[in-house]
Amino acid sequence: MKKELEDALAEKYEFMKPKTSLQQQKKKGCIHDLYGAFGCECSDGWYDLLNEMCAKIQAVYDKNNMEPDIVILQVKEKWGKLRFYYHFPGDNPGIHAFDILGGPPSLRIHPGKKENHIHKEIAEIVAWGEKRSGEICEKCGKPGKLRNDLIYILTLCDDCYEKAKKE
């Protein structure tokens, strides 16, 4: 995703501000904050979806008069859909999903050993956004569908799909 779009998310939503940059992590000798290091590892077409997800997450905290405690670990495309990995302070980030290519739907593990109603609402928002990403072109944001006959599995509209077939 373009830096200016990532910056727009960070400007609107405090929890979307990267905590440590790639350079800072390299100095420490390990990369543990993939979101801080690489930002949103998806194309610009999902910006509106991410913005809507973040607005819904922020609304949950606002409704409960709380400051967001969500920690973003990674935002990326995987097998044509959005993956929004996160955890809450005090929880082990651990494994978030098991994806089976060509098999049944992904098994999603929602973080939160002290899961409460706020964390459950956030998990529902993330699940909604990840599912919705399979209907939105990752490149341009138009309605799309999962395409699995290219080099990579991607969610693309018809126009972006035709371009991708020529590349």
Q: pLDDT tens-digit profile of 27-82?
A: 555 555 678 777 899 999 999 999 999 999 999 999 999 999 998 989 999 999 99
The secondary structure of residue 46, as a DSSP letter, is G
- Rounded to two decimals, the pTM is 0.84
Which residues are registered as beta bridge partners of 156? 145
For residue 152, give the nearest of 89, 77, 85 by alpha carbon: 77
pLDDT for 158 beyond 60: yes
CA distance 125 to 113: 18
| 112 touches 69 (CB < 8 A) | no
Identity of the residue numbered 135: E
Q: pLDDT tens-digit profile of 83-130?
A: 999 888 876 655 566 665 555 456 566 555 456 889 889 999 999 999
What pLDDT sits at residue 113?
Answer: 46
Contacts of 11 by beta carbon, 8 Å cutoff, 6+ apart? none
For residue 82, give the nearest of 155, 22, 167, 148 by alpha carbon: 155
